[in-house]
Structure 1
Amino acid sequence: MGANDTETEERAADGPAFQSVFENRVRFAETDQQGIVFYGEYFTFQDEAVSAFFRAIDYGYEQMRADGWQIHVVNTELNYRAGAEFEDVIVNELRVADIGTSSLEYEYRAKRERDDAVLVDGTVTQVAVDTETEEPTRIPDDFRDAVAALQGGLETDGQR
């Protein structure tokens, strides 16, 4: 884990704005023997950020199922930048960086509230599938529009 680097700052300036979707206070159970957040916990925080993002756009999993589609995670990555400790408040941010015909790529970052240090950043890639066939399906316009409305824009591969 190193200091925040220029690449992180430049990436934050590109594309739609990150959305602060939820905060959590580090619990003792989430720390390791060194007293810092165990690295695997950030994948849970990342997953929670995606769910909170769906709530923020008012298009949750129930709406997806009602519309005949769901999402499958196909890739996730995290880069560790700094450590958080017991009782630190973590601000979890997310944005849809790219939306294709049937895929979504989110960029995620977690910051320590007290000093705004980036703790981790990374991506989550999901594929939309039909609930009956489990085959890839087109992401509905209603979902795309909700994402664009929340984050002030949308990067897409041209598939509208």
Structure 2
Amino acid sequence: MVKEGIDFEIRVRYAETDQMGVAYYANYLVWFEVGRAEFCREKGFIYADLEKLGYRLAVTDAKCHYRNSARYDDLVIVRTRLKELNKRMISFGYQILRKDQEELIAEGETRHICLDSTNKPKSLPEAFLAQLAG
């Protein structure tokens, strides 16, 4: 199940770079999270609303493959798409692209399971599943 993704722009800030002016590798996972939040917002819900209902999405797997480097002040696109969805698991795919050339900088994936407030597996609400799949 690969759904069409959404794009979100981020300008690489000085604080996100190392001494060489290159984006620090862990920031790509932060950008994935920003893309994921914007994907959900685009689908009509805010993650905090899901938490208020007693659901949590725990990351069980995160991968990032670096193809190039983002640098200070680059404008990058975080492209996020839904890869897989079932009652207890969601998987998102990501691409980080340099905006001016649509050059692939990094790509990755995160996998999440749904938990209740006591960290026990829990099925996602049907309304949420329908919003994401739609």
1:143 equivalent to 2:131? Answer no
The residue type equivalent to 2:84 in the other structure is D
Residue 98 of structure 1 aligns to a residue whose secondary structure is strand
The residue type equivalent to 1:145 in the other structure is A
Distance in structure 2 (CA, Å) of the matches to 1:15 and 1:35: 34
The residue type equivalent to 2:9 in the other structure is E
Distance in structure 1 (CA, Å) of the matches to 2:109 and 2:42: 19
Partner of 1:78: 64
Largest Rg, 1 or 2: 1
Distance in structure 1 (CA, Å) of the matches to 2:48 and 2:90: 18
Distance in structure 2 (CA, Å) of the matches to 1:140 and 1:79: 32
Residue 120 of structure 1 aligns to a residue whose secondary structure is strand
Q: Name the structure where strand makes up a greater proportion of residues.
A: 2
Alignment TM-score, normalising by the size of structure 1: 0.77
Partner of 1:104: 90
- Deviation of the 1:110 alpha carbon: 0.9
**Aligned length, in residue pairs:** 134
Distance in structure 1 (CA, Å) of the matches to 2:116 and 2:71: 41
- Deviation of the 1:82 alpha carbon: 1.1
Residue 20 of structure 2 aligns to a residue whose secondary structure is coil
Distance in structure 2 (CA, Å) of the matches to 1:34 and 1:44: 20
Alignment TM-score, normalising by the size of structure 2: 0.91
- Deviation of the 1:15 alpha carbon: 2.5
Which of 100, 104, 118 is matched with 1:118 structurally? Answer: 104
1:17 equivalent to 2:8? Answer no
- Deviation of the 1:97 alpha carbon: 0.4
Q: Any stretches of 5+ residues in structure 1 without a counterpart?
A: 1-13, 150-160
Runs of 4+ in 1 over 3 A off after TM superposition: none
Residue 145 of structure 1 aligns to a residue whose secondary structure is helix
Q: Any stretches of 5+ residues in structure 2 without a counterpart?
A: none
Distance in structure 2 (CA, Å) of the matches to 1:111 and 1:43: 14
